[in-house]
Amino acid sequence: MKGYLIALDAGTTSVRAMLFDVEEGKFVFSMQQEVGQSFPQSGWVEQDAEEIYFKSAYVVSRCVASVGADRILGMGIANQRETVVIWDRETGEPLAPAIVWQCRRTGEYCAKIPPAMQKKIREKTGLPVDAYFSASKIRWLLDEVPAARDSMRRGRLCAGTVDSYLIYKFTEGKRFVTDYTNASRTMLFDLKTLDWDDELLAYFGIARSVLPQALPCDGRMGEANFNGVRFPITGVAGDQQAALFGQACLTEGDGKITYGTGLFQLFNTGKRCVRSESGLITTIGYALGGEVVYALEGSAFNAGSGVQWLRDELGFLSSSAESETLACSVPDTGGVFFVPAFTGLGAPHWSSDARGLLCGITRGTTKAHIVRAVLESIAYSARELGDCMQKDSGICLREIKCDGGASANNFLMQFQADVLGISVNRPVEREGTALGAALLCGCALGLISEAEVPRRRKAERIFVPQGEGERYEKLYRGYLKAVARTLYKP
* In the complex, least distance from residue 131 CB atom to ligand ADP, rounded to whole angstroms: 19
C-beta of 137 vs 311, nearer to ligand ADP: 311
Q: What are phi and psi of 72, to 5 degrees?
A: -85, 120
**Is residue 278 a contact residue for ligand ADP (CB under 6 A)?**
no
Residue 247, interface with ligand ADP (CB under 6 A)? no
Choice between 92 and 405, CB closer to ligand ADP:
405
Contact 381, 263 (CB under 8 A): yes
| Residue window 2-41: x/- pattern of binding to ligand ADP, with contact defined by CB under 6 A | ---------x-x----------------------------
3-class DSSP state for residue 59? helix
Q: How many CB atoms lie within 10 A of CB 204?
A: 19
Applying CB under 6 A, the span of 50-58, 291-299, 335-343, 399-407 interacting with ligand ADP comes to 399-407
Give the per-residue contact string, 410-449, with ligand ADP (x = CB under 6 A; - = no). ----------------------------------------
State yes or no: cis peptide before 348, omega within 30 of 0: yes
Contact between 308 and ligand ADP by CB under 6 A: the answer reads yes
* Angstrom distance (rounded) from CA 293 to CA 285: 5
- Residue 208 has φ and ψ, to the nearest 5°, of -55, -35
Q: Which residues partner with 157 through β-bridges?
A: 88
Q: How far apart are CA 184 and CA 355, in angstroms?
A: 29
Contact 79, 168 (CB under 8 A): no
**For ligand ADP, which is the closer residue by CB, 61 or 320?**
320
Rounded distance between C-alpha atoms, residue 367 and residue 482, angstroms = 19
Each residue 195-224 as x (binds ligand ADP by CB under 6 A) or -, in order, gives ------------------------------
The answer to whether residue 299 forms part of the interface with ligand ADP (CB under 6 A) is no
Q: How far is the CB of 232 from ligand ADP (least distance, A)?
A: 27
Smallest distance from ligand ADP to CB 261, Å: 3
Ranges of beta strands (E only) in 407-447 are 423-427
Please identify, among the stretches 118-126, 229-237, 287-295, 404-412, the one whose residues bind ligand ADP according to the rule CB under 6 A: 404-412
DSSP code at position 319: S
- 128 neighbors 107 (Cβ within 8 angstroms): no
The closest of 34, 139, 47 to 96, measured between CA atoms, is 47
Q: How many residues bind ligand ADP (CB under 6 A)?
A: 17
Q: Which of 25, 94, 298, 404 is in the footprint of ligand ADP by CB under 6 A? A: 404
Residue 80 binds ligand ADP (CB under 6 A): no
Tell me the window of 291-299, 316-324, 350-358, 438-446 that interacts with ligand ADP (CB under 6 A): 316-324
Residue 307 binds ligand ADP (CB under 6 A)? yes
x/- track of binding to ligand ADP for residues 254-273 (CB under 6 A): ------xx------------
In the complex, least distance from residue 309 CB atom to ligand ADP, rounded to whole angstroms? 9
User: Closest approach of Cβ 409 to ligand ADP, in Å?
Assistant: 3
Residue 224 C-beta: closest distance to ligand ADP, Å? 24
Calpha distance 339→484 (Å, rounded): 10
SS3 of residue 114 by DSSP: coil
Closest-approach residue to ligand ADP (CB):
405
Interface with ligand ADP (CB under 6 A), residue from 106, 283, 409, 486: 409
Contacts with 108 (C-beta within 8 Å, 6 or more apart), sequence order: none
Among 321, 328, 330, 359, binds ligand ADP (CB under 6 A): 321
Q: Does 340 bind ligand ADP (CB under 6 A)?
A: no
- Residue of 329, 369, 456 lying closest to 27 (CA atoms): 456
CB of 307 to ligand ADP, least distance (A): 4
What DSSP letter does each residue of 247-299 carry, written as one string?
Answer: TT--STT-EEEEESSSEEEEEEEET--PPPSSSPEEEEEEEETTEEEEEEEEE
Which of 292, 264, 291 lies closest to 280 in space, CA to CA? Answer: 264
Distance CA 163, CA 157 (A): 16
Give me the residues paired with residue 14 across strands: 34
Contact between 177 and ligand ADP by CB under 6 A: the answer reads: no
- Which of the stretches 92-100, 317-325, 337-345, 436-444 binds ligand ADP when contact is defined by CB under 6 A? 317-325
The footprint of ligand ADP (CB under 6 A) covers 11, 13, 260-261, 304-305, 307-308, 320-321, 323-324, 404-406, 408-409
